[in-house]
Chains A and B, each alone.
Chain A
Amino acid sequence: MFTDLLYLLRRNGLKVSLTEWMALMEGLHKGLHSASFTGLYHLCRCLLVKSEADFDAFDRTFLEYFKDVPFQQEVSQELLDWLDRPDVLTDYANWDEIQALKNMGFSEEEIERMLRERMAEQTEEHNGGSYWVGTHGMSMFGNSGLSPKGIRVGGQSMYRRAFRVAGERKFRDFRRDNTLDTRQFQVALRHLRQFSGLVDLPPTEFDVDRTIQDTASNGGVLKVRYKRPRENTVKVLLLMDSGGSMDYYAQLCSALFQAVSKSGHFKDLRVYYFHNCPYGRLYHAPTLLSRDSIPTDWVLSNLPGDYKLILVGDAQMAPYELMGGYYGRGERAGGPQCGMDWLRLLKGRFRHTVWLNPSARPDWGEYWSQTYDRIAKEFPMFPLTVDGLEEGMKKLLAR
C-alpha cells in the first residue's frame, strides 16, 4: 500500500528507510490512522519524519501524493514577503460594491487560473487594489483583503473569506537551509570541540577510573592507567567583513559573533574586522576606526599557524578593490600589492581556513560575481547557514 509514496519521499530527500516503512504498515494494520485522512497524515509524519526541519518537505510531498489540494503552484518567497503585512485594516475605504459582485461571479476554477496568470506576470508589490496579488484590497488574491471570495496567499487569515490557501507551509521556518539564529550557530560551532577530542596527544593524564577498574580486576595488584588530556586545543581567528553590502547581513553576522564569543570552549579566540577585503590593517570593532586597529602583519607574524581562520564576508566588491594596488599596497617593498595578496598571505599562514558567505553567488551580472569567484577559488567557501557552518567546521578540522 502507498509504496509509491515511499519512493516519492525518498526522491524528495527524506531518508525514509524500510524500518520506518514497516512500522507504518504495522500502524495501518492496527488502525492507528483511525480511518481518517488527517489521521493518516499524522501517523505518516510521526513515523517517517524524524526532524522538524523535514516537516516542510514532508508536507509538500504528502500533498503531491494525495492530490486533494488542487492548487499547488509554488509561491515565490518574494511574493510572500510583499504579502507579509500583519497590520489590520481599520476602515473599509477600499471596499467596492461593484468589484465585490464581480468577484462573486467567478467560479473557483476561474479564480485559480487567474491566480496562476497573476503570479507569472506580477513583478512588484501591490496593496489596496483589485487586480494584483496583494493585501488590503478588493483583489481576489493575497491576504487581509475585502473581496468576498478568493484565494489567500501568505499572511494570516484576517476576514476568513478565502476559499483556499496557497503556499501555506507551516513548517517552512524549520528548513535547514534557512539562515539561522544564535542557538543553532552554537550547536554548529560545537563541532569544533567534539572533533578536537580526536587530536593526537600523548597520554599524560592520570586516569582514576580505569586505574581502579584495572587494579580491581587484577585482584588488587596496582595497575596505573593514563589517558589523553581532553582539553580543547582549537584556537580560532575570526575575520569579519563589515559595512557596505554587508549591512544587509548585520543581524546574521552579529548572531554568529555572539555564538562564537559565547561558545567559550576555544583555547583562544581573536576577532578582527575588515571592509570588503583585509588589507594592511585589521580593526578591533565593526566601526573600523583606524585608531582602534592593528597591522595585519602583526597578526601574520604573531599568531601561530595552527589558528583556525574563519573569514566572513560576501566576497562581493569592485574588482579593483581585490586586485588593484590602490587599497592593498603594503609598506614593504616586495610585500603584498593588492587585497588578493593579503588574502593569500593569510591563507599561507593559517593552514585551516574557511570562508563563510551570508550571500549567495550573484547571478545577475558578471561585475559582482568576479571577485566572488576569485575568492571562492582561493578559499573553501560555505554559505552562512546551519548546513554550511557545519560543513565549514568539518573542513576546519580535516587534516
Chain B
Amino acid sequence: MKEFRGSQNYVASEELLRAANIAMVLQKPLLIKGEPGTGKTMLAEAIAQALGKELIIWNIKSTTKAQDGLYVYDVVQRLYDSQFGGQGVDDIEKYVKLGKLGEAFTSQEQAILLIDEIDKADLEFPNDLLWELDRMEFHIPETGRTVKARHRPVVIITSNAEKELPDAFLRRCVFHYIAFPDRELMEEIVRVHYPDIDERLLAQVLEAFYKIRQLPQIKKKPSTSEIVDWIQALQHGGVDVRRIVKEVPYLGVLLKKNEDMDVLRRQWR
C-alpha cells in the first residue's frame, strides 16, 4: 500500500496525513470537515496526484439524490425512441447510465472518489449510500445487473457542517477536522504558492491577516484562499511593505462583506 505524504502543491498537517493513511489502510471513507477555505477539496486532488490515481469528483447539490450517483435510467429517452421506432429500444442497458459512484466502481484501476460537500444534499442522503459504500456494490433492477467494485475506491467525503450527518453513516467513516492553519503552517502554505516571496512582505501579511481574523466582530473570516489572493494583489500593485499592517491595502480581497469592512475601519489601531 502506498502512503500519502503530502504533495508539491498541498501542505498537509501531520494529523491529516495520519487520518488519510488510516482511512486507506482500513478501507473506510475519510470524512473531512472544516472551515471553508481550509483546503478540503484540494486534499483529494493532492492524494490522487501523489498516488497517481484517477480522481472522480461527485459534486453534491441540494437536489442530488443517492440514486444519481449509482445510475440513471433514462426512461424519457427510451419512450421517445420507441415512439419514433429508433433502434435498440429493447436493450434497456443502452439507457442505463452509470453515475459517479458507478464510474468509480467500474474503473479499470483503483480510483479516488471525492464526494464533495455531502451536507448540501437532503438529510437522508448519506443513509441511502450506506449499503453501497459498505459493500461497494449495487443492483440495477431494470437490467438485473449487479455492479461490483473491481477495485475498492478510496472514498473521500467533505462536509461544511451545514447539516448533521446521521450516526449510522458517521460510524463507518474515519473522521478528520481540519483546524484553521496556525502561523507556521500558513507560512509554509504561502511559500508553496509563492516560492520566492519577499520575507518582509510575508511577515507583514501574516501579521495583518491573523490580526484581522482575531477580531471577534468579523462575520466572514478571511481564509487561506483569500490570503493567497491578497499576496498576489499586493505583489502586483507593488505596495510599500511598511504600509501593509497599518493601512491594509486591497482590503476587498480579504473581506467580502460590507459590515466587516466597517468593523475593521472602526477597530483598526
B25, A20: Cβ atoms closer than 8 Å = no
Chain A interface SS verdict (over half): helix
Nearest-CB distance from A156 to chain B (Å)?
Answer: 11
A43, B22: Cβ atoms closer than 8 Å = yes
Does chain A have a CB within 8 A of B250?
no
Instruction: Give a binary string over A9-37; 1 marks a CB under 8 Å from any B CB, 0 the rest.
Output: 00000010101100100110010100000
B25, A42: Cβ atoms closer than 8 Å = no
Contact count band on B: 20 to 34
A15 to B165, CA, bound (A): 14
Given the known inter-chain contacts A27-B26, A39-B18, A194-B123, please indicate yes or no for A46 contacting B75, CB distance below 8 A.
no
Closest to B161 in A: A187
Instruction: Give a binary string over B74-95; 1 marks a CB under 8 Å from any A CB, 0 the rest.
Output: 0110110011000000000000
| Number of A residues with CB within 8 Å of any CB on chain B | 30
A46, B176: Cβ atoms closer than 8 Å = yes
Nearest-CB distance from A170 to chain B (Å)?
Answer: 8
Nearest-CB distance from B263 to chain A (Å)?
Answer: 12
Does chain A have a CB within 8 A of B151?
no
Nearest-CB distance from A252 to chain B (Å)?
Answer: 12
Instruction: List A45-94 residues whose CB lies under 8 Å from chain B.
Output: 45-47, 49-52, 55
A32, B171: Cβ atoms closer than 8 Å = no
Given the known inter-chain contacts A23-B28, A220-B83, please indicate yes or no for A50 contacting B22, CB distance below 8 A.
no
A42, B18: Cβ atoms closer than 8 Å = yes
Instruction: Give a binary string over A238-258; 1 marks a CB under 8 Å from any B CB, 0 the rest.
Output: 000000000000000000000
B82, A220: Cβ atoms closer than 8 Å = yes
A50 to B161, CA, bound (A): 12
Closest to B1 in A: A30
A32, B176: Cβ atoms closer than 8 Å = no
B22, A190: Cβ atoms closer than 8 Å = no
Does chain B have a CB within 8 A of A212?
yes
Nearest-CB distance from B140 to chain A (Å)?
Answer: 15
B26, A42: Cβ atoms closer than 8 Å = no
Instruction: List B170-195 residues whose CB lies under 8 Å from chain A.
Output: 170-177
Does chain A have a CB within 8 A of B196?
no
A49, B175: Cβ atoms closer than 8 Å = yes
Does chain B have a CB within 8 A of A178?
no
A187 to B159, CA, bound (A): 13
Given the known inter-chain contacts A32-B25, A216-B76, please indicate yes or no for A46 contacting B82, CB distance below 8 A.
no
Does chain A have a CB within 8 A of B139?
no
Does chain B have a CB within 8 A of A213?
yes
A188 to B25, CA, bound (A): 36
Given the known inter-chain contacts A217-B75, A220-B83, please indicate yes or no for A27 contacting B25, CB distance below 8 A.
yes
Does chain A have a CB within 8 A of B240?
no
Across-interface contacts of B175 in A (CB, < 8 A): 45-47, 49-51
Given the known inter-chain contacts A52-B177, A187-B163, please indicate yes or no for A47 contacting B172, CB distance below 8 A.
no
A9 to B176, CA, bound (A): 18
Across-interface contacts of B33 in A (CB, < 8 A): 51-52
Across-interface contacts of A23 in B (CB, < 8 A): 26, 28, 174
B177, A55: Cβ atoms closer than 8 Å = yes
Does chain A have a CB within 8 A of B19?
yes
Closest to B259 in A: A258
Does chain A have a CB within 8 A of B162?
yes
Across-interface contacts of A213 in B (CB, < 8 A): 75
Interface centre among B28, B175, B219 (most CB of A within 10 A): B175
Does chain A have a CB within 8 A of B106?
no
Instruction: List B1-58 residues whose CB lies under 8 Å from chain A.
Output: 15, 18-19, 21-23, 25-26, 28, 31, 33
Does chain B have a CB within 8 A of A196?
no
Interface centre among B26, B78, B176 (most CB of A within 10 A): B26
Does chain B have a CB within 8 A of A179?
no
A310 to B14, CA, bound (A): 46
Does chain B have a CB within 8 A of A370?
no
Which of B19, B78, B82, B167 meets A15, CB within 8 Å? Answer: B167
Nearest-CB distance from B219 to chain A (Å)?
Answer: 7
Given the known inter-chain contacts A220-B79, A220-B82, please indicate yes or no for A47 contacting B163, CB distance below 8 A.
no
Across-interface contacts of A20 in B (CB, < 8 A): 171
Closest to A16 in B: B171
Nearest-CB distance from A190 to chain B (Å)?
Answer: 7
Which of B15, B19, B76, B163 meets A190, CB within 8 Å? Answer: B163
Closest to B31 in A: A50
Given the known inter-chain contacts A49-B175, A216-B75, please indicate yes or no for A182 contacting B219, CB distance below 8 A.
yes
Closest to A186 in B: B162
Interface centre among B22, B76, B82 (most CB of A within 10 A): B22
Across-interface contacts of A50 in B (CB, < 8 A): 31, 165, 167, 170-171, 173, 175
A and B contact pairs by CB, cutoff 8 A, 8 listed: A19-B172, A23-B174, A42-B22, A46-B18, A47-B174, A52-B33, A187-B162, A212-B79
| Residues of A participating in the B interface, judged by any CB pair closer than 8 Å | 15, 17, 19-20, 23, 26-27, 30, 32, 39, 42-43, 45-47, 49-52, 55, 182, 187, 190, 194, 212-213, 215-217, 220
Additional 20 contacts, C-beta under 8 A, given A46-B176, A51-B170: A27-B25, A30-B26, A32-B22, A32-B26, A42-B15, A42-B18, A43-B22, A46-B23, A47-B175, A49-B175, A50-B31, A50-B175, A55-B177, A187-B162, A187-B163, A190-B163, A212-B75, A212-B79, A216-B75, A217-B75
9 tightest CB-CB pairs across the interface, nearest first?
Answer: A50-B170, A216-B75, A52-B177, A19-B171, A42-B18, A46-B19, A50-B175, A46-B174, A216-B79
| Residues of B participating in the A interface, judged by any CB pair closer than 8 Å | 15, 18-19, 21-23, 25-26, 28, 31, 33, 75-76, 78-79, 82-83, 123, 161-163, 165, 167, 170-177, 219
